[in-house]
Amino acid sequence: MVDIEHSVLAQDDSDDELHRGRRKDQATADSIIPNNLSFAYLDVSVGEYASFRQNFCQKTGCNSNLWANYTSEDQFKAFIKSGSVEKKILLISTGRQCANIIKDIHSLPQLHSVYIYCQVVANYESLRKEYSKLRGVFSKPDLLLTRICNDLEAETLPKAPMQTRREGERHTVTSDIISPADQEALIERARKAATPPKQNQIPTENGVEVFSQPGIHWCPWNANSCTKTLPVKGQGTVAVMELEPMPFELCLSSKPNPDDPEAFSIILGVDTTGAFFGTNKKTYDQSHIPQHLIQPNNGKWHTYWLSFFKDTRKLRYGIGEIRSMFSIFEITIEEDMASELREIHYLHVKFPDFTRAVDRSVKDPNGWCHKKLVAKANRFGRPNFYATYLRVTVGNRDGSAPGHKYVVEIWPPGHYSPIHNHSNAYGIIKVLCGRLLVKLYPELSLNVRQYSPIETLLEEGQITWMLPRLNQTHQVRNPDLYGACSISIQCYQYGEEDEEHYEYFDYLNNDGQSIGQFNPKNDDVNCTVDLRLLPWMLRQIVLHHYPFVVVVVVLLLLRRRRLRRLRLPLLQIVRYYNYR
């Protein structure tokens, strides 16, 4: 049996419930709708209005009398302008009609929010940057329904006031945006979602969760698909284990490339709206029954399995225990395909792109990443939401670097770090996704802004570096105000000559009035990656976008005694490059 255990930080809009601190019971669902809120559906065609209204009212307990349908833009504008300012309207509109009227209605106090329901999402994404009340653009009704419910529920969650710094304090105080109970529940849910149910390791640091590769067919979250070779041809069982609801597609093929014209494939796709099962030649069965689809989060792991056996030509899909009696779909393929079934040897898994999932979690007010950024708003002094970023460490703290030696950092659009230094450590920084603006300063002081910094724009795949006496003080910023998140990976290490280690990064406070100390640790939900992944991390840093000659030059430089400790990893990288 092949096990694939899925863990994820954040997912797209269909999985928004992953990031909620808690989910209300159905009995209290009607409380998510404010007393002064009503709903308008603007579409020249009335075909989907009735079904969407019915589904929404069933899910929330909403009275259908709160809904109204409009086919004319002028008719809706006249209606909303004539209403009382105390009454709020939530509008669901087609993309074309929304583009025509949003300029006229966006500033009206009667407008609560707008959601676009269209065929091509990309055509209207630009409107989101211009109009804050436009909450999202959707092409699937279930995603639209989920987002509206989650947004309304978020408005009902109690918010605790932000804590302020006490006079004379040098260090920052973390803000409490949600209640301690909700915060604890949120952290616990995220911890469970990020931890495979098997092969956990004992953490060596308080508050840090350690996980390792859960099996030989584990698929890392660094792409939107992966391919593995099965140990036996023509038979086996694939089990996908999920704690949080996440769509997936499994493909078992006779060729390493499932798109090869000569390949024969078994395909299973499951999401929140449907499940289909068959081969690359035809779909044998499909279902839209909720019990056959991705299951909602109830605090337990759900197993989705696919089995195939060459001798009987039977293919099965089921949920729960792997037993033929629990099959949802059972297919017997034609006899003329038996020889092709015997050649099935490769497993291909498709899942949501990790960077896209992180980006959505950052931008969604209900996302874990967004909530964490809000909670960190006063980490560096005076509260500033944009002076925040997220840190995920790799490996354990061993005293050879300030904090962890390897750190992945997530930079939302327009967010930046304070001006800070790096404890005289050596360092390499690579942009894995997006781009970053790095500003270098001559020193860290209260009047540092009187200097004109050296500015460098790093594109995806580019690298910068630091030595104990060079490039130590900088500020990092995602320069794209309306784009996607940028992701970087950093490696730090003290030099051999550094006998007095300083475990902090000093930084200039947000108000520029004091210099504080920052303990470079992980954010609250911590996932410290198994050290067996470090060769991959090093290859990502040095080789992915740089020619072999660069590595040779680096090796020559490493003859210097104080950099000798890095020679062995780089020699391993060169060896890998020669055989790649």
pLDDT digits (tens, 9 = 90+) for 231-247: 889 998 888 888 778 78
Going by the DSSP 8-state scheme, the letter that residue 425 receives in this structure is: -
Task: Write the burial class of residue 250 (CB in 10 Å: 0-12 exposed, 13-18 middle, 19+ buried).
Answer: buried
pLDDT at 267 over 70: yes
pLDDT at 391 over 70: yes
Contact partners, residue 118, CB within 8 Å, separation at least 6: 94, 95, 96, 124, 137, 138, 139
Domain termination site, one of 107, 125, 156: 156
State pLDDT tens for residues 279-328: 998 889 989 998 999 998 887 888 899 999 999 999 999 998 888 888 99
Is residue 424 left, alpha or beta, with left meaning phi > 0 and alpha meaning psi from -120 to 50?
left
Q: What share of the chain is helix, strand, coil (3-state, %, to 5)?
A: 30, 25, 45
Q: Could you list the residue range(s) of the whole structural domain that residue 321 is in?
A: 2-8+214-353
Q: Quick one: 323 and 380 in the same domain?
A: no
Q: Are strands 346-350 and 248-253 parallel, antiparallel or unpaired?
A: antiparallel
- The residue behind tokens 């896209």 is 356
Q: Quick one: 311 and 380 in the same domain?
A: no
pLDDT at 392 over 60: yes
Among 93, 90, 87, smallest CA distance to 60 is for 90
* Rounded Cα distance, 72 and 51, in Å: 20
pLDDT at 18 over 50: no
Q: Quick one: 393 and 349 in the same domain?
A: no
* Rounded Cα distance, 516 and 172, in Å: 8
Average pLDDT on 472-497 reads 87
Q: Which residue has the higher pLDDT, 19 or 451?
A: 451
**Of 77-86, 374-383, 419-428, 528-537, where does the model show the most confidence?**
77-86
pLDDT at 503 over 80: no
Q: Look at residue 208 and tell me if it is in a domain.
A: no
pLDDT at 535 over 50: no
* Rounded Cα distance, 44 and 117, in Å: 12
Q: Quick one: 434 and 345 in the same domain?
A: no
pLDDT at 520: 66
Q: Are strands 67-70 and 88-93 parallel, antiparallel or unpaired?
A: unpaired
pTM of the full structure:
0.43
Average pLDDT on 149-165 reads 59
Q: Quick one: 44 and 136 in the same domain?
A: yes
Domain CATH number, residue 95: 3.40.50.2300
Domain CATH number, residue 296: 2.60.120.200
pLDDT at 221: 43
Among 56, 55, 133, smallest CA distance to 91 is for 133
Give the number of domains in the chain: 3
pLDDT at 46 over 80: no
Residue 65 CA to its chain's centroid (Å)? 38
Q: Quick one: 324 and 419 in the same domain?
A: no
Q: Which residue has the higher pLDDT, 383 or 267?
A: 267
Q: Quick one: 430 and 331 in the same domain?
A: no
- The residue behind tokens 């393929």 is 333
pLDDT at 523 over 70: no
Q: What Cα–Cα distance (Å) separates residue 216 from each residue in 5, 220, 227, 305, 341?
A: 11, 11, 12, 17, 23
pLDDT at 181: 65
Contact partners, residue 542, CB within 8 Å, separation at least 6: 428, 463, 550, 551, 554, 570, 573
pLDDT at 517: 76
Q: Look at residue 67 and tell me if it is in a domain.
A: yes
* Dihedral angle sign, alpha carbons of residues 79, 80, 85, 88: positive
Q: Look at residue 409 and tell me if it is in a domain.
A: yes
Average confidence score pLDDT of the chain = 74
Q: Quick one: 538 and 392 in the same domain?
A: yes
* Rounded Cα distance, 266 and 283, in Å: 10
pLDDT at 20 over 90: no
Q: Quick one: 397 and 340 in the same domain?
A: no
* Rounded Cα distance, 24 and 32, in Å: 9
Q: Quick one: 111 and 230 in the same domain?
A: no
Q: Look at residue 189 and tell me if it is in a domain.
A: no
pLDDT at 156: 66
pLDDT at 185: 64
Domain CATH number, residue 473: 2.60.120.10
Task: Answer whether 486's CB lies under 8 Å from 436's CB.
Answer: yes
Structure tokens at 285: 């069965």
* Rounded Cα distance, 56 and 43, in Å: 17
Q: Which residue has the higher pLDDT, 328 or 504?
A: 328
Task: Answer whether 573's CB lies under 8 Å from 542's CB.
Answer: yes
pLDDT at 64 over 70: yes
Q: Quick one: 441 and 527 in the same domain?
A: yes
pLDDT at 472: 86
Domain termination site, one of 106, 121, 156: 156
Q: Quick one: 502 and 452 in the same domain?
A: yes
**Of 170-174, 238-242, 509-513, where does the model show the most confidence?**
238-242
Bridge partner list, 314: 309, 332
Q: Look at residue 370 and tell me if it is in a domain.
A: no
pLDDT at 172: 33
Contact partners, residue 297, CB within 8 Å, separation at least 6: 17, 18, 23, 189, 243, 244, 245
Range of weakest confidence among 378-382, 392-396, 487-491, 520-524: 520-524
Strands of the sheet containing 327-332, edge to edge, are 2-5, 235-242, 302-309, 314-319, 327-332
Range of weakest confidence among 77-91, 136-150, 207-221, 257-271: 207-221
pLDDT at 59: 85
Q: Which residue has the higher pLDDT, 419 or 7?
A: 419
Q: Where are the alpha helices (DSSP H) in 136-219?
A: 141-156, 180-194
Q: Reduce the DSSP state of residue 529 to 3 states and report it.
A: strand
Q: Look at residue 288 and tell me if it is in a domain.
A: yes
- The residue behind tokens 């954010």 is 523
Task: Answer whether 115's CB lies under 8 Å from 147's CB.
Answer: yes
- What is the number of H-type helices and E-type strands within the chain? 12, 28
Average pLDDT on 165-185 reads 45
* Rounded Cα distance, 213 and 191, in Å: 16
Res. 378 pLDDT band, cuts 50 70 90? confident
Q: Look at residue 274 and tell me if it is in a domain.
A: yes
**Of 117-126, 196-205, 392-401, 548-557, where does the model show the most confidence?**
117-126
Among 42, 23, 45, 19, smallest CA distance to 32 is for 23
Domain termination site, one of 107, 130, 156: 156
pLDDT at 574: 37
State pLDDT tens for residues 489-501: 888 888 877 666 5
Task: Answer whether 264's CB lies under 8 Å from 334's CB.
Answer: no
CA torsion angle 353 354 356 360 (round to 10):
130
Q: Look at residue 170 and tell me if it is in a domain.
A: no
Among 503, 477, 315, 484, smallest CA distance to 398 is for 503
Q: Reduce the DSSP state of residue 137 to 3 states and report it.
A: strand
